[in-house]
Structure 1
Amino acid sequence: MKKKRDLVFKAGAITAGIAVGVAAMLFAVEMLLTAKYSEIEAPELERVPGYDSGYVARYRAGLDTADMYHDRPLRIHVNNFNMRRDTDVSQLPPAGVTRVLSYGDSIASGFHVDLFNHYTYKLEKRLAADGRRFEILNMARGHSPGIHAMHLRVDLPRLRPHWVMQQIELANDVSDEAFVSHEGYDQFGMPQKITGGRYILSWDDKWLSTMPVGLEFLESKKFYLFFLQRVGWFLSMHYPNPVFSLEGDTFYYSMGYDRHYLTRGRLERAFERMFVTIKAMQRYVEANGARYVLLVSPTREMFFENRFRAGNTALYEKALARAAQLGIPYVPAKSAFEGAGGSELFFDFCHPNFMGYEVLTNELYRHFK
């Protein structure tokens, strides 16, 4: 009996020692990675009150910083309600003012573009020149419809808009949405909880890229993300995904290490989930007495000869058809981009330059006019 107790004690001591050693090693790796990421200048973000999720984040109110682009600083100012806007706003719309909440991906936030070149700023000024008082508020929240829906549930009852405008771009947003899982739905069909996403706030509020493969309690830890990315690179290199092969006919944004995860089946399900969520957001907005419109931005690959042109054009047209089928009001922009310079209106595969933002402003102006 005594020998058995001794054996159990030794086994327990060895196990505990190994566990302590592994924990100490992981803690050391976490601190090393934290020191590394501390040197990265990233936008200051915060979790949204009411959601215990590092996937649902927004800019910190009062942030005033510079986004460096080609050695040129682009100022980012965040107002009192966590919007990218130079001026503060009241919680409720001023009398006689039509308030519009603008959601979307990095195009809607204004990635690498000055605020005065962004369609939210330009559209508000254009309508003001017509004597129409609008607040077009750049919400700068999230990067795919599932995450926009979580923000909207908080923002709409607080800010009481007359309109909600949502922007999507398919090459980026479909692959972003492929990482998001929904848990539970409200009466409008909006997700009550999401898990997963392409980006997450770490425990010290650094904006990091990840893959949703479970173990939620570890997802905000840098050592876990570091491990996931290395495994992802190995799988993507040694088990190539046909979507990203030379035979692939549609461009989808990826981080490289996530290519094995972005299978055609996941991407197709993400497309369908996007539009189910967008329709649910429309229902929620209209049930609260406001109006909804969807801006569908084009992809650069649609405007010049390349192996992705036909596939991305078909994906864009599929999105318009699905919006029409579901009764979602939308503003298309492909034809306007074709007539104004096509691929010259982008600085990468999806982000417009200042000329592209002018085209988007024109199309939105026609809608709101």
Structure 2
Amino acid sequence: MSTRLAIIVAKIGLLLASTLLSVAALELGLTFWYADLRETGPLELVEEWGSPFIFKARSHPESKTYGVRRSLPIELATPPGTTRILSYGDSISAGHKLSEPETYAYMLEKRLSESNDGIVEVLNMSRGHSPTIHSFHLRSDVPRFKPDGVVLEIELINDVSDEARVHTSGQDEDGLPLQIHRHRYLLGWDGHILSPLSVFGSSIERTKLYAKLSRWYGRLRYKMNPNPIFEPDSNKTFYHLYPDRFLLTQPALDDGFERIFRTVSGIQRYLQRQGIRFLLVIIPSRHVFTREQYTETSTAIVARAERRAEELEIPYVSMTAALAERGGAELFMDFCHPTGDGNEVIADVLEPELVGW
């Protein structure tokens, strides 16, 4: 190699090294800058799937809670005389901004243990944001925890837009996806949730720099081509992260709705094959009770979900009537999360459904 060529190669190498160091420094700077926003974590990937979209609370062997929201240790082998129920859902079932005793899973465990002949465990699994993600967790959790029943909560304003962002491939014998390539949330390299405009779930998408740049891009796309669903005069509302509004078109949202019920139906088949009971819980949004511009469409999508569950012969309970009777909008802390009193209403409705499981 000539001296001139060696100098050129060295300069290119130096440029690449300095660029990588600059990017790394920027990533660390963003991590430090947004440290106060990392409310949830640290989290960890679920080994069986090896996907940045499938994650749960980090397990601590000494606590024996296995990433479940629970203060008491869990024995993987269900103790004799114990009925075990796994409770899945989004941040509603996890108990957003609530203490553990304020969650309906905690209340149900206490009540059912008092009314049943034996002990009942209701494990608040606290993993996953929508049914597609839950379908992956279930296939890891069921062989491990060996439950007698599963309860799955959905709330349409949240879950439809979550599922509209999903891309999967392959199917197992129950019609559940084998791989996931895209979702609204993924696990960052530091064990905290990111919400970039994901394309493939690659390593670079797990950085805060990519998340920041992709969100800027999303805001620009929306500014250039606004989505009428999210304009001020629209009577529809779905949860969004601002930069992803341009992706949440009506066809995408319709597909998200259907994906929910295809997945829930597959979950039901998976559990039935193993003799495990299943119940779907449909939670309305606060808009159903507020009599404003979103009330009509928010009510309609809950009714649509109830009809779809009936068509697919999915056992379900809807919380709309009970919440309306006990306080309606006052039982919510925001557009979708029930208060502790709201969770008590949910537990009241679920208790007779689960007695005898």
SS of residue paired to 2:70: coil
Counterparts of 1:35 and 1:353 in 2: how far apart (Å)? 32
Counterparts of 2:37 and 2:18 in 1: how far apart (Å)? 29
What is the CA-CA distance between 1:227 and the residue it aligns to? 0.3
2:99 is the alignment partner of 1:114: yes
Q: Which amino acid aligns with 1:61?
A: S
Match of 2:24 in 1: 27
Match of 1:274 in 2: 260
Counterparts of 2:292 and 2:8 in 1: how far apart (Å)? 62
What is the CA-CA distance between 1:101 and the residue it aligns to? 0.6
Specify every segment of 5 or more residues in structure 2 that has no aligned partner in the other structure, as ranges.
Answer: none
2:338 is the alignment partner of 1:352: yes
Q: Describe the shift of the 1:235–1:292 C-alpha distance in structure 2 as closer, same or farther (beyond 3 A).
A: same
Counterpart selection for 2:227 from 241, 252, 256: 241
Match of 1:54 in 2: 52
SS of residue paired to 1:194: strand
What is the CA-CA distance between 1:243 and the residue it aligns to? 1.0
Specify every segment of 5 or more residues in structure 1 that has no aligned partner in the other structure, as ranges.
Answer: 65-77
Q: Deviations over 1:104-157 (max 9, x none)?
A: 000111111111111111111112222443111100011011110110010001
What is the CA-CA distance between 1:17 and the residue it aligns to? 6.2
SS of residue paired to 1:260: helix
Q: Give the TM-score normalised by structure 2.
A: 0.92
Match of 2:193 in 1: 207
Q: Describe the shift of the 1:16–1:368 C-alpha distance in structure 2 as closer, same or farther (beyond 3 A).
A: same
Q: CA contact under 8 A between 1:37 and 1:206: conserved in structure 2? A: no
What is the CA-CA distance between 1:211 and the residue it aligns to? 1.8
Q: Which amino acid aligns with 1:27?
A: A
2:172 is the alignment partner of 1:186: yes
SS of residue paired to 2:71: coil
Counterparts of 1:6 and 1:230 in 2: how far apart (Å)? 44
Match of 2:325 in 1: 339
Counterparts of 1:239 and 1:25 in 2: how far apart (Å)? 33
Match of 1:198 in 2: 184
Q: Deviations over 1:24-57 (max 9, x none)?
A: 4322221211222444453221111122212111
Counterparts of 2:123 and 2:64 in 1: how far apart (Å)? 10
2:62 is the alignment partner of 1:82: no
Q: Describe the shift of the 1:215–1:208 C-alpha distance in structure 2 as closer, same or farther (beyond 3 A).
A: closer
Counterparts of 1:215 and 1:157 in 2: how far apart (Å)? 27
What is the CA-CA distance between 1:197 and the residue it aligns to? 1.8
2:137 is the alignment partner of 1:151: yes
Q: Which amino acid aligns with 2:106?
A: Y
Q: Which amino acid aligns with 1:197?
A: H
Instruction: Identify which of structures 1 and 2 has the higher relative contact order when contacts are C-alpha pairs closer than 8 Å and 6+ apart.
Output: 2
Q: CA contact under 8 A between 1:218 and 1:224: conserved in structure 2? A: yes
SS of residue paired to 1:100: strand
SS of residue paired to 2:97: coil
Q: CA contact under 8 A between 2:181 and 2:199: conserved in structure 1? A: no
Q: Give the TM-score normalised by structure 1.
A: 0.89
Q: Describe the shift of the 1:93–1:63 C-alpha distance in structure 2 as closer, same or farther (beyond 3 A).
A: closer
Match of 1:69 in 2: none
Q: Describe the shift of the 1:92–1:25 C-alpha distance in structure 2 as closer, same or farther (beyond 3 A).
A: same
> For the aligned residues, what is the CA RMSD?
2.3
Counterparts of 2:19 and 2:156 in 1: how far apart (Å)? 42
Q: CA contact under 8 A between 1:79 and 1:85: conserved in structure 2? A: no
Please say which of residues 79-88 and 151-160 is displaced more in the overlay: 79-88
Counterparts of 1:128 and 1:104 in 2: how far apart (Å)? 22
Q: Deviations over 1:180-200 (max 9, x none)?
A: 211111111111111222221
